A and B are shown apart, each in its own frame.
Chain A
Amino acid sequence: MAADIVKIVSKNFDIPDSHKLEVALKNGRYSSIDKLFSMTPEDVTEEVCKSGLRGKGGGGAACGPKWKLMPPIDERPRYLICNGDESEPGTFKDRQLFQYDPHLLIEGIICTCYAIGAHESFIYIRGEYKFFIDQLNNAIDEAYEKGIIGKKVMNKYDFPIDITVHRGGGAYICGEKSALIESLEGKRGHPRLKPHGKECEWFYDMPATVNNVETIASVPHIVENGYEAYTKYGTEKAPGTMLFAMSGPVKNPGVYEMPYGNKMLDVINEIGGGMQDGLKLKAVIPGGASCPILTAQEVEKAYLDYESMWDIGSTLGTGGMMIIPENVSMVDVAKNLIEFYHHESCGQCTPCREGTGWIDTILKKVIDGNGSEDDLETILDVCETMNGKTICVFAPAVKDIIKSIVIKYRHEFVEHFNKKQLN
């Protein structure tokens, strides 16, 4: 099967000035709203449940069931929080939405707010995206002016909606939903302890739902065309499409919307244009830095959906593939990534705060030529100490990527020990 592109969320990305309301309206934006208000909120949620829409932020949790966790409507305010923090290395898809189709996101927010009964929505975006934040804010201002949001939706539906963009401050961990809420509440972005049972999130002790912006942008298509229009793409367990990203030395890096289930190698060769001349594929980190690395042999067996990735011992994550060529040392890759994690660990849990630092120190020692087999064992040991003993999934992600590199490319680390001995 050849890799195919299906444009649902990215349909308007290539249209000039698609961020302007006038152009957006001409190209089908806000066309789901009439259908939306002819349905009950329960019907909307049910439709999204049937569509099998899954969260696009990395976890892949089902979206509809998440909405159902909201408690029954009472006098308390309730919130929709859109996660646009997008700091996972290798991931640059949400910014395309802010830049090229912000009105799709606003339309998605209207649909989602209606389904969960929220009247206020916050969009948390990483601080580095100043330009994209401005672009989105302009679109929101325009939507307010034209009465698309505000006291009424589309000037006629009696459902007040307010949207506020909240600019982050450069902390990776704020992409974790509970850390994001802490940050939004004006605190350090420390992830919260998770409840034993499933429940919604809480923003200032009020019920809230947190969804990734791409997930929210996928909702209008489902509302307008019914769930079958979504499930006809993708695989049985992962229906629909996702914005996959490719970076590294391929001929055409970028963001491409594809149904789930494409063969990874076809995607790299046909859509990514293959490796740049003279370079050979060595490895791929499939979905942002926090996924176990795939060797070139494993890439041949890889398909881009959650279940297939689990089967070969990795995860789909955010779908941001980082392509690593033959001439790059895996020791350098490991060092580069552990520096990232060491820098970004929020410091709340000891195993993560200390573990990332220790691995960083040990890898420096290896690169300097002072390493030994014992050091590799220590790294693996530290990985196990971090795994599953912390509040959030940051530390397990560090373990996943570092352990997979050390085990799959152990010989490259060993070469560094030998270098020293030769000298």
Chain B
Amino acid sequence: MSKFKYTEENEKEFARIAAKYPKIDAMMLPALWLVQEQEGWVSPDSMVFVADKLGKTPIEVYEFATFYTMFNLKPIGTYHIELCKTLSCMIMGAPALKKFIKDTIGIEPGETSQDGKFHLTEVECQGACGGAPMIALNHTYHENLTVDKLKKIIQECK
């Protein structure tokens, strides 16, 4: 048995979504999203919880969760910066943004700042090529960035 539990609200949300699918198996992605939205990451304990809920073994949930790169398998900072590095963003200046983050916050891709405030992930195409270069800050897109604009965005993170 796991110690992890959904909040009451998420428990209801789970039941609401589950009713829409022909089989409970399809709840794998939605169930893990609920976990991540609640906790900020997907812990081994929460995977046991999801496995119990869906009638799976914990390893099946683990296998699943490790395939989908958006699930954080360890805790990350308060502000998750996802910096796009794919072609159009590279051409339009993503490397300069990466350098700026390194110089000011002091983190490389995959690292969390010491105060636990920022976490940087270098991600593949986010579908914002027309607004390259871009970052997603806690899933909110910021497009057509320059170093100055990024500086402002980071300063506004309290």
B-contacting residues of A (Cβ < 8 Å)? 77, 86-92, 94-95, 126-131, 162, 164, 166-172, 183-189, 203-204, 206, 245-249, 253-255, 285, 289, 320, 322, 324-325, 328, 332-333, 336-337, 339-340, 343-344, 346
Contacts of B21 in A (CB 8 A): 164
* Sample of 5 further A-B pairs with CB below 8 A, known A88-B125, A89-B87, A128-B139: A90-B87, A169-B32, A170-B123, A185-B26, A186-B29
Given A171-B68, A336-B86, A344-B124, A245 and B130 contact (CB-CB distance below 8 Å): yes
Which of chain A's residues has its CB closest to B17's CB? A164
Residues of chain A within 8 A (CB-CB) of B28 are: 186-187
CB–CB A171/B129 < 8 A: no
Does B88 contact A248, Cβ atoms closer than 8 Å? yes
Asked if B92 is at the interface of the complex by the 8 Å CB criterion, the answer is yes
Docked pose: A346 CA to B26 CA in angstroms: 19
**A89-B86, A89-B88 known; A169-B70 Cβ under 8 A:** yes
**Does the CB pair A168–B29 fall under 8 Å?**
yes
Select A186's contact among B64, B85, B91, B140, beta carbons within 8 Å.
B64
Measured CB to CB, the closest approach of chain B to A252, in angstroms, equals 9
B20: Cβ under 8 A from any A Cβ:
yes
Q: Which of B20-53 contact A (CB under 8 A)?
A: 20-23, 25-30, 32-33
Find B129's partner among A92, A126, A204, A336 (CB 8 Å cutoff): A92
Across the interface, which residues of B come within 8 angstroms of A88, CB to CB? 125
- A-facing residues in B84-111 (Cβ within 8 Å): 85-88, 90-92
User: In the complex where A87-B125, A91-B127, A344-B124 touch, is A170 in contact with B68 (Cβ < 8 A)?
Assistant: yes
Which residues of B from 49 to 76 have beta carbons under 8 Å from A? 54, 63-64, 67-71
Q: Does the CB pair A336–B92 fall under 8 Å?
A: no
Report Cα–Cα, A189/B124, bound state, in Å.
17
Contact between A126 and B69, CB atoms less than 8 A apart: no
Residues of B within 8 A of A333 (CB): 87
Also in contact, A204 and B64, with CB within 8 A (given A167-B33, A249-B92, A340-B124): no
- A394 CB to closest chain B CB (Å) equals 14
B140–A131 contact, CB under 8 A? yes
Bound complex: CA of A129 vs CA of B127, how far in Å? 8
Using A162-B20, A164-B20, A336-B85 as known contacts, say yes or no to A186 and B26 having CB atoms under 8 A apart: yes
- A92 touches which of B68, B70, B123, B127 (Cβ 8 Å): B127
Q: Of A324, A332, A340, which is within 8 A of B125 by CB? A: A340
Residues of B at the A interface (CB closer than 8 Å) are 17, 20-23, 25-30, 32-33, 54, 63-64, 67-71, 82, 85-88, 90-92, 123-132, 136, 139-141
Q: Given contacts A167-B33, A169-B32, A188-B64, is CB(A87)–CB(B127) below 8 Å?
A: yes
B32 CB, min distance to chain A CBs, angstroms: 7
Q: How far is the CB of A398 from chain B (nearest CB, A)?
A: 14
Q: Contact between B67 and A336 (Cβ–Cβ < 8 Å)?
A: no
A348 to B69, CA, bound (A): 16
* In contact, A131 and B91 (Cβ under 8 angstroms): no
Of A87, A130, A254, A346, the residue contacting B130 (CB under 8 A) is A254
Q: Is the CB of B92 within 8 A of A248?
A: yes
Q: Name the distance in Å between A338's Cβ and chain B's nearest Cβ.
A: 11
Q: CA separation between A187 and B63, bound complex, in Å?
A: 9
Supposing A127-B70, A130-B139, A333-B87 touch, asked if A167 and B29 sit within 8 A by C-beta, the answer is yes
Give chain B nearest CB distance to A254 CB in angstroms: 5
Q: Is the CB of A169 within 8 A of B130?
A: no
Distance of B80 from chain A, by nearest CB (Å): 12
The answer to whether B25 touches A247 (Cβ under 8 A) is no
Least CB distance from B54 to A in Å reads 7
Taking CB atoms, residues of chain A closer than 8 Å to B30 are 166-167
CB distance from B100 to the nearest CB of A (A): 19
A360 to chain B, nearest CB (A): 13
The distance in angstroms between the C-alpha atoms of A248 and B129, with both chains bound, is: 7
Check A188/B88 contact, CB under 8 A, given A128-B139, A164-B20. no
Find chain A residues with CB under 8 A from B26 CB: 166, 184-186
Question: Contact check: which of A169, A248, A324 meets B71 at CB < 8 Å?
Answer: A169
In the complex the two chains form, what is the Cα distance from A89 to B92 in whole Å?
A: 14
Contact, CB under 8 Å: A332 / B90: yes
In the complex, what distance in Å separates the CA atom of A88 from the CA atom of B22? 29
Contact between B124 and A91, CB atoms less than 8 A apart: no
A185 touches B127 (CB 8 A): no
Give min CB distance, A401 to chain B, whole Å: 10
Contact of B90 among A77, A162, A336 (CB under 8 A): A336
Cβ of A188 and Cβ of B22 under 8 Å apart?
Answer: no
Q: Which residue of B lies closest to A133 (CB)?
A: B139
Are A128 and B130 also in contact (CB < 8 A) when A89-B86, A186-B25 are? no
How many whole Å from B15's CB to the nearest CB in chain A?
14
Q: Please give me the residue from chain B that is nearest to A341 by CB atom.
A: B124
- Give complex CA distance A322, B88 in Å: 7
B27 contact from A131, A186, A339, A340, Cβ within 8 A: A186
Q: How far is the CB of A346 from chain B (nearest CB, A)?
A: 8
